[in-house]
Amino acid sequence: MTTLSRADSLRAVSHPVYSDRKLRLGTFSTNVSGGCTMTTIDGVLTADWDSTRTLGLLADEMDFEAIVPVGRWRGFGGQTDFNGSGFESFTWAAGIGAVTSRSGVFATSHVPTIHPVMAAKQAATIDHITSGRFALNVVTGWNTPEIEMFGAPLLDHDLRYEVAVEWLDIIKRLWTEDEPFSLEGRFFTVKDASLSPHPVQRPHPVVMNAGGSPAGMHFGAKHCDVTFITPGGITEPAAMAEKVAHFKRLAREEYGRELLVWTIAYIVQGETEKAANDYYDLYVNQKGDWEAVSNLVATLGMNSGSHPPETIEATKRHFVAGWGGYPLIGTKEMVVDQLAALAGTGLDGVLLSWPRYIQDMQTFQKETHPLLVEAGLR
């Protein structure tokens, strides 16, 4: 079956990421403290069920196509211990899936932390809870201290993706095959494995990956349905369009597949452009958690030996402001214009976050989303 026809069959059960909207939207990282913002200002997301549920319901009310949690096992220290508190993403997705009725609900799975038979079963369960709105984000892990919590070493970078291929292959077989199968792979052994009931989505739930390295991009292009561009300092639609086209071409030319390509962005909205810039200045320049972000970039392996100081500073600023996302800063009209420009780059969707996640997303629902609808983007 080609990917195109696969996409059609997924559409038949209406997974939200295949909606026909010009601009598909989602939220990122609503299951952990801090969300996407490393700052000490008041009103930042805390990891409690009421807050994460409220954000899930806001997304659902606006018909967002994706609610994507982060798979995180420990924080990054600093004053805020950014992401140090949070909910495990499969059990979280089961709960969020039960209280929502329209949005796609994702679970983010670190390959080295869970056996594929378990991941396949949990995913199928959530696909039933949500009547076919589940999607699986496959991450191979890069944060050494959290993978070491499992007593597992972090493997060499590209080898992690070879493990992921075998892991995902077992999961897809369980989701789709009727007969039990056994396998002695390079990394996993399964004996007489089977799964019932199969997921609701046919042939199987949507699979996402956000790898940005060559190995990660090839994994996404060959094995996944939704992939991501990490902006990495891109702030112009033209540069984004180039990256999107490159990724789609890779999938088409090397694997004969049509991919959905999304990105992440953060919104800093104000009554006036100056108010938005002042808000940014407050939560990033004045109140950013620079110790936590220094720990993060060190974990990423960025140091003065490997990168020029300006690059490290710029990277830190993007992470503090919105987990390295694409900046959408200004009045509501400016935010709408910038989102329209992103929709014009060939992107299939954008995961959003806000500094004061709940309060700012409520403002977006009241003031900004209606303008997106008016503009024909949603």
Q: Whose Cβ is closer to ligand FMN: residue 183's or residue 215's?
A: 215
Shortest distance in whole angstroms from residue 337 CB to ligand FMN: 23
Tokens of 185: 């792979």
Binding flag, residue 143, ligand FMN (CB under 6 A): yes
CB 220 within 8 A of CB 211: yes
Ranges of H-type helices in the chain: 3-12, 49-61, 89-99, 116-129, 144-148, 157-176, 214-223, 237-255, 273-280, 290-299, 309-322, 332-343, 357-363, 369-374
Q: Is 86 in the site for ligand FMN (CB under 6 A)?
A: no
Residue 210 sits in the site that holds ligand FMN (CB under 6 A): yes
Task: Say if CB 90 and CB 126 are below 8 A apart.
Answer: yes
80 vs 230, which CB is nearer to ligand FMN?
230
- Interface residue with ligand FMN, options 26, 116, 211, 330 (CB under 6 A): 211
Q: How far is the CB of 71 from ligand FMN (least distance, A)?
A: 4
Name residue 41's amino acid. Answer: I
Nearer to ligand FMN, 137 or 331 (CB): 137
Closest-CB residue for ligand FMN? 216
229: Cα within 13 Å, side-chain hemisphere: 29
> Is residue 141 a contact residue for ligand FMN (CB under 6 A)?
yes
Quote the crossing angle between the two packed helices 157-176 and 214-223, to the nearest 10°.
10
Which of 16, 199, 216, 349 binds ligand FMN (CB under 6 A)? It is 216
Q: Smallest distance, Å, CB 109 to ligand FMN?
A: 9
Give how far Cα 215 sits from Cα of 46, 137, 164, 224, Å: 34, 16, 11, 13
Residue 370 interacts with ligand FMN (CB under 6 A): yes or no: no
Closer by beta carbon to ligand FMN, 139 or else 276? 139
155 counts as binding ligand FMN under rule CB under 6 A: no
Which residue from 19, 33, 83, 140 is in contact with ligand FMN, where contact means CB under 6 A?
Answer: 140
Residue of the chain from 30, 31, 83, 108 that contacts ligand FMN (CB under 6 A): 108
Query: For ligand FMN, which is the closer residue by CB, 70 or 268?
Result: 70
Sign of the CA dihedral with 105 first, then 111, 114, and 120 last: positive
**Binding-site member from 71, 75, 97, 199 for ligand FMN (CB under 6 A):** 71
Residue 195 half-sphere exposure toward CB, CA atoms < 13 A: 23
Pairing of strands 181-184, 189-193: antiparallel
Nearest of 226, 240, 219 to residue 325 by alpha carbon:
240
Contacts with ligand FMN in 256-285 (CB under 6 A)? 264
DSSP state letter for 286: I
231 touching ligand FMN, by CB under 6 A: no
Tokens 């993007």 belong to which residue? 318
Q: Which of residues 213, 294, 299, 363 is near ligand FMN by CB under 6 A?
A: 213
Is residue 329 within 8 Å of residue 243, measured between CB atoms? no
> In Å, what is the CA distance from 54 to each residue of 25, 31, 132?
17, 11, 22
For 371, residues 6+ apart whose C-beta sits below 8 A from its C-beta are 332, 333, 336
Site stretch for ligand FMN (CB under 6 A), options 138-146, 166-174, 249-257, 269-277: 138-146
Toward ligand FMN, which CB reaches closer, 78 or 211? 211
Distance of CA 199 to the CA centre of its chain: 21
Name the one range near ligand FMN by CB under 6 A: 43-51, 168-176, 206-214, 286-294: 206-214
How many residues touch ligand FMN under the rule CB under 6 A: the total is 18
Is 168 or 190 the residue whose CB approaches ligand FMN more closely?
Answer: 168
Residue 224 binding ligand FMN, by CB under 6 A: no
Q: Indicate which single residue of 77, 212, 346, 370 sits in contact with ligand FMN (rule: CB under 6 A).
A: 212
Question: CA distances (Å), 180 to each of 158, 177, 220, 301, in order?
Answer: 30, 8, 27, 43
- Site of interaction with ligand FMN (CB under 6 A): 28, 70-71, 108, 139-143, 210-213, 216, 228, 230, 264, 351
